[in-house]
Amino acid sequence: MVEMMYREALRRALDEEMQRDPLVFLMGETIAERGGSYKVTEGLWQKYGSRRVIDTPIAEASFTGMAVGAALVGCRPVVEILFVDFAMLVMDQIVNQAAKIEFISGGQGKVPMVLRTQGGAGNGLAAQHSQSLEALFYHIPGLKLVMPATPADACGLLKSAIRDDDPVIFIEHKLLYMTRGPVPEEEFLIPLGKAEIKRPGRDATLITYSHMTLKCLEAAAFLEKEGIRVEVIDLRTLAPLDTETLLDSVRRTGRAVVVHEACKRGGVGGDIAAMLMEQAYDDLDGPVLRIAGRNTPIPYNLKIERACVPSVEEIVAGVLSIL
């Protein structure tokens, strides 16, 4: 294993896939000479040139549409959208085109592209640059949705996403780029649609993803000091959803808490809670609890911003409330 930052793990995945397949190329704003605003693509323009690491104008709809067309004729584009908030500009290209072409063409057309973007709060970037919008993409048949929490998962899942024949939305949390973790030295892939038990337990199941995985692990460590062993499941891939791992865990622990940063109303947690109630009702010792962001735009003030997303203390209190 080698220790590296989350952003370095993403860069390694892009580099390895570009070496492996000459049809993989990158598109986005300031990703070439500058290396991207989050330095994920740093050094790739120097290595692969401007035909494969393409700086685009500030025209998300245009270059995302170009990527859909390139994927249709056999390329594997990786598009970077600076903030997930700006993905609103490409919903027609992604939702009405990329997600549906294979279906409406009877399988004759495929769109093997990845749309990388980042979301979440934490840096005082205010309401238009701090949203968690994964539920919009989770709702759309034909799209795959990946939200890794650790450097190893970021690397292995991005490689799998690039090789996948379906369009993949790959959302990275802005607070994760500088986090560190062990990554296998040898090349590796992590399959899409497979959750991971990050911490085994017996008393309750915490179901989460992205940056909230770190908070749930911290909450679980605190609870263990009180004699409460909580199982933490990192979904990693939201679509397809690994229901088998979730159901197996909840049937063992009898209690479930779903945690995400996005607003509670219409969030992914509501769908997961409904699935557990439908398929594991007789195994549950109480209702599934949701801990989520407030139903409000994210404010600029850092202190108020922190109050709008789940905290470790809130997760601990939630687990205690259902025991």
**Cα–Cα distance, 220 to 231 (Å, whole number):** 8
Q: Where are the alpha helices (DSSP H) in 82-226?
A: 91, 101-104, 134-138, 151-163, 212-225
Q: Which one from 8, 17, 80, 129 is the annotated catalytic residue? A: 129
What SS3 state is found at 97?
A: helix
What are the strands, taking DSSP E only, across 83-224? 114-119, 144-146, 168-173, 180-183, 196-199, 204-208
CA angle 245, 250, 253 (to 5 degrees): 125
**Cα–Cα distance, 219 to 47 (Å, whole number):** 42
What SS3 state is found at 29?
A: coil
Name, in order, each residue with C-beta under 8 angstroms of 16's C-beta and a sequence gap of 6 or more. Answer: 159, 187
Residue 153 Cα distances to 180, 204, 306, angstroms:
12, 24, 26
Contact 264, 293 (CB under 8 A): yes
**Cα–Cα distance, 224 to 203 (Å, whole number):** 10
Strand bridging mode 24-28 / 76-81: parallel
Is residue 129 part of the annotated active site? The answer reads: yes
**Cα–Cα distance, 231 to 236 (Å, whole number):** 15
Kindly write down the DSSP assignment for every residue of 215-253, as one continuous string: HHHHHHHHHHHTT--EEEEE-SEEETT-HHHHHHHHHHH
What SS3 state is found at 57?
A: coil
Q: Which one from 17, 60, 134, 231 is the annotated catalytic residue? A: 60
Name, in order, each residue with C-beta under 8 angstroms of 105's C-beta and a sequence gap of 6 or more. Answer: none
Is residue 211 part of the annotated active site? The answer reads: no
Question: What residues act catalytically?
Answer: 60, 129
